[in-house]
Amino acid sequence: MSDTTAGLLQAGALIAALALCWRPLGDYMARVVTSEKDLRVERGIYRVIGVDSKSDQRWSVYAASVVAFAFVGVVVLYVIQRVQAHLPLSLGFKGVDPALAFNTAASFVTNTNWQAYSGESTMGHVAQMAGLAVQNFISAAVGIAVAVALIRGFVRSRSDRLGNFWVDTIRIIIRVLLPLSVLAAIALILMGAIQNFSTGTDVTTLLGHHQTITGGPVASQEAIKELGTNGGGFYNANSAHPFENPTALSNWFENFLLLLIPVALTRTFGTMVGDRRQGIALVSVMAALWGTLVVAVTTFEVHHHGTALQAAGAAMEGKETRFGEWASALFAVSTTGTSTGAVNSFHSSFTGLGGGALILNMGLGEISPGGVGSGIYGILVLAIMTVFVAGLMVGRTPEYLHKKITGREIKLVSLYILTMPVIVLVGTGIAMSFATPRASMLNAGPHGLSEVLYSFMSATNNNGSAFAGLSANTPFYNVALGIAMLLGRILPMLFVLGLAGSLGQQQKIPKTPGTLPTHGPLFIGMLIGVAVIVAGLTFFPVLALGPLAEGL
């Protein structure tokens, strides 16, 4: 079977599997977040933390709960890392250095999972499970909870209540993430991923040297890492490591897992607002952007004009030979489009144009299809901007889902859209302006700029994947990227919740002949255009100096 045929088959199978799961999973998640009944285990948790599951919160209280939970999470995870030498199953590893511990705590609490360290030589089993894996569940659930709060803002009328953050988060963890993760972990174990508490196995290499291969609870962490669009890796090689991603089948399955919930949430949205055509419109936009970038990156990697690359048949440097360039390009687009830090190849080794397309994919705002929760609320923000632009064209007050889009909503939308580019470009500018951070660049010229730009783009978008080629475990990058992760996660969530509160307080307005249909091809095309133009106008200059200059 040719590489082309195999690549088309796995992409087709991926789309078919997502299509089959879209309706049942999307409707199930809608039932979870709208149900009036609590499970017994949930009632026990509510009693312990002192939460009334029947009470609703104003948007400001909901937002305060999000920030407080994030703060506590950072502190707890920081402490676990610092004292890990005194924890069971520490494997003899010392406590993590303060700057790196802060960076890692900020990373996992914000669903970024950027790693400036090698997991197998830095973290013991308890730190991996009680610290990192727990935050994988929590951060994913928080993202979905914020998205649900925004949807309630569209659904409710003359209400300042958005639901209960603690109830939403606990339900999502117990009823959605935990059962799916158990099933996924079992599947990964059957495919060859390891799951143990081994302190390490001593082996003799082909050259006669001795090496200790670290084991651990890999499959369980791998499952939630992909399902929660968390990313990161138990091992430094991430999803290119055979213990995490043993076969071509497991590689396809992990790709499926990281796309599953973000795609299904569009169905959840359509079900909750009472018009499933709206969900189809959003998933169509996501699919169009994702598909276009898959074709582009695959083309750049397989048919690059470089003499050496043509002689080799494709750009295989930095790619795992078990997967090849088609599966690597597919995984790379999925991971940069879903705020997932998992990688099965080194993005720094992609061609200049291929790497640039991956940076642009993140620059779209993580909406193709985006992270769990963040993807759906990100594209909804752009949908509001789209109807606002359409309203300007025809001279009428814009409407979306029976709610008027007033000056207050547009201010919050504008703040949301501007937050990520400002953090990325300011951070990149500072890093390129001083000698100390520039010393971390292993490449000069356009490729070096791409490395720095990618790191801040990945951190601010809570993606977590690494371009490689940048020595990021330094005091500057640990602190700077940690701050970028926190600001890139918390500020957009606050603007989204403020937007939800503003929409919820409005009275629903009836549809009129002048209302723009937001489920048809015209709106889908306009939304794609707004997403591309916003990212293109913002990042084209720096992309031209970095990956475009290198590729051309």
| pLDDT tens digits for range 165-201 | 999 999 999 999 999 999 999 999 999 999 998 887 8
DSSP 234: S
The answer, yes or no, to whether residue 315 has pLDDT greater than 70, is no
Query: What's residue 308's pLDDT?
Result: 53
Say yes or no to pLDDT of 112 above 80.
Answer: yes
- Band of pLDDT at residue 470, cut at 50, 70 and 90: confident
What angle, rounded to 10 degrees, do the helices at 475-504 and 98-109 form?
Answer: 30
Please state, for a pLDDT cut of 70, what percent of the chain lies above it. 97
Q: How far apart are the C-alpha atoms of 251 and 242, rounded to whole Å? A: 10
Cα 373-32-510 angle, rounded to 5 deg: 75
The predicted model gives 283-291 an average pLDDT of 96
- Contact 161/58 with Cβ under 8 angstroms? yes
Query: Does residue 133 have a pLDDT over 70?
Result: yes
Query: pLDDT tens digits for 2-11?
Result: 678 888 899 9
Asked if residues 7 and 327 have their Cβ atoms less than 8 Å apart, the reply is yes
Segment 296-302 shows an average pLDDT of: 88
Q: Which among 195, 191, 95, 111 has a CA at the least distance from the CA of 147? A: 111
Report the pLDDT value the prediction gives residue 318, as an integer from 0 to 100. Answer: 63
pLDDT at 63: 97
pLDDT reading at 446 higher than 90? no
- Cβ(93)–Cβ(103) under 8 Å? no
Report percent pLDDT > 90 for the chain: 64
Tokens coding 538: 């913002």
pLDDT at 323 over 90: no
> What's the confidence (pLDDT) of residue 373?
93
Helices of type H across 303-366: 307-312, 324-337, 352-363
Task: Report the C-alpha gap between 20 and 280 in whole angstroms.
Answer: 14
pLDDT for position 312 = 53
Q: Is the pLDDT of residue 320 over 80?
A: no
pTM summary value: 0.94
Cβ contact 173:373 at 8 Å: no
Confidence band (pLDDT; 50, 70, 90) for 490? very high
Which of the four pLDDT bands, split at 50, 70 and 90, describes residue 307? low
- How many angstroms separate the Cα of 231 from the Cα of each of 111, 132, 195, 340, 452? 8, 11, 18, 5, 19
